[in-house]
Amino acid sequence: MQPAGVIGQGSCPVCSGRNLWRSVEFDALPILCNDLHADMAAAKEADTGRFVTTFCRDCEHLFNAAFDEKRISYAQSYENSLHYSPRFVEFSEALAARLNRRYALCGKSVVDIGCGKGDFLKRLCALSGAVGWGFDKSFEESRGDPALDVTFVNDWFGDGYADIRPDIVLCRHVLEHIADPVSFLRQLRKHPGVSDETVFYFEVPNALYTLRDLGIWDLIYEHVSYFTPRSLQTAFMRAGFDIIENGASFGEQYLYIEAKVGVERPVAPNDGNYVHQLVQSFAKAYREKVDYWRDYLALRDPSQTVVWGAGSKGITFVNVVPGADLIATLVDVNPHKQGRFVPRTGARVVSKQALTTQPVQSIIIMNGLYHDEIATEVASLGLSSEIVVA
């Protein structure tokens, strides 16, 4: 990790501005946190990439200036489903109900770009009576029960699918993976199946959660972009969308935006300083948080310490915090992650039941929103382990 400072080259992927500020850097983050490995040897040899946390003072966008999209490839082994958590399922069902109430989806067509394993699209169509198409190269036919009136395609929603004319387009937790988000949005706006009445719902991680609430474990290589409310609006306005509504959700860890096709518009330069102040203090706050967890782990037996959550946050924690690479076990409720191994450290992912077969002194939770859910699970296992939120 290197000290913060101003950088003099490169441009913002959202507004093309060059008024940039460099913050924390990493020499070797796993390229794909959510692509776990079948054995420890392969996990330890996983590819890594450089991450240069960079802030655009003009549109308040946060991004990795060292991102190389050619190094990223998504396949069916990519596993990031959160739908095995009751807390997340509750959030998903509330979102599906809200979208259905607002847009009366019964009998309408829904396209979900980057649908993952299809969990949310199935729920939305079952609830609303909509007809759905899900597009994702990581989709697996064998996952879950087949859904009525939902078709999945191992592809992206390109011009070759002009016969699909969606009433609403969903794109959740995809835009942050795209090297040129404005061009991506422009192409989507010009898709032959899209009309002036098509509604777009996008959802991305909230950079303010990373900066303000120090959700630092969300800094991962596969996310080139971290949108603030301003930079997300800027991307949509530059791409030619009219914004219907935007806000934060899921404990303000996510941002969402609803929009329709409009015209491209420039955005006035930013004259605020709240986010700027957060960025300027971020490098110091980041180091202090990492140091805290280094000291915490130094006082504990790594063989009796587990991380609960083998998603991107947990993978980042064990790869970034000194001493965390000695943690041999991560817990995840997603059965498709269990028995696999974490990139670079080689830690094994296990089910919650596996904790009853080993001494567990400390359980480190990677997302505080799941604290009550996990605490209930730990108690049901008869464990009296310390539970802390990273």
Supply the pLDDT for residue 1: 34
Q: What is the full DSSP assignment across 265-324?
A: ---PPP---HHHHHHHHHHHHHHHHHHHHHHHHHTS-GGGEEEE--SHHHHHHHHHSTTG
Supply the pLDDT for residue 2: 35
For residues 327 and 302, give the distance between their C-alpha atoms in angstroms, rounded to a whole number: 5
- The full set of domain ranges for the chain reads 86-261, 300-389
Q: In DSSP terms, which residues pair with 253 in a beta bridge?
A: none
Supply the pLDDT for residue 74: 73
- Determine the 3-state secondary structure of 28 from DSSP: strand
Contact 249, 203 (CB under 8 A): yes
Answer positive or negative: Cα dihedral of 151, 120, 365, 205: positive
Count CA atoms closer than 13 A to 100's CA, side-chain side: 19
pTM, 2 dp:
0.92
Supply the pLDDT for residue 73: 77
For residues 81 and 119, give the distance between their C-alpha atoms in angstroms, rounded to a whole number: 8
Supply the pLDDT for residue 273: 84
Supply the pLDDT for residue 3: 32
Tokens 């991305």 belong to 204
| Residue 186 neighbours by CB under 8 Å, 6+ apart | 239, 240, 264
Tokens 């946390």 belong to 53
From first to last of the 390 residues of the chain, give the pLDDT tens digit: 333 444 444 899 999 999 999 999 999 999 998 889 999 999 999 999 999 999 999 999 999 999 999 988 776 667 677 878 889 999 999 999 999 999 999 999 999 999 988 999 999 999 999 999 999 988 777 666 677 799 999 999 999 999 999 999 999 999 999 999 999 999 999 999 999 999 999 999 999 999 999 999 999 999 999 999 999 999 999 999 999 999 999 999 999 999 999 999 887 767 668 899 999 999 999 999 999 999 999 999 999 999 999 999 999 999 999 999 999 999 999 998 999 999 999 999 999 999 999 999 999 999 999 999 999 999 999 999 999 999
CATH number of 86-261: 3.40.50.150
What fold characterizes domain 300-389? Answer: Rossmann fold (3.40.50)
For residues 368 and 239, give the distance between their C-alpha atoms in angstroms, rounded to a whole number: 35
Q: In DSSP terms, which residues pair with 241 in a beta bridge?
A: 261
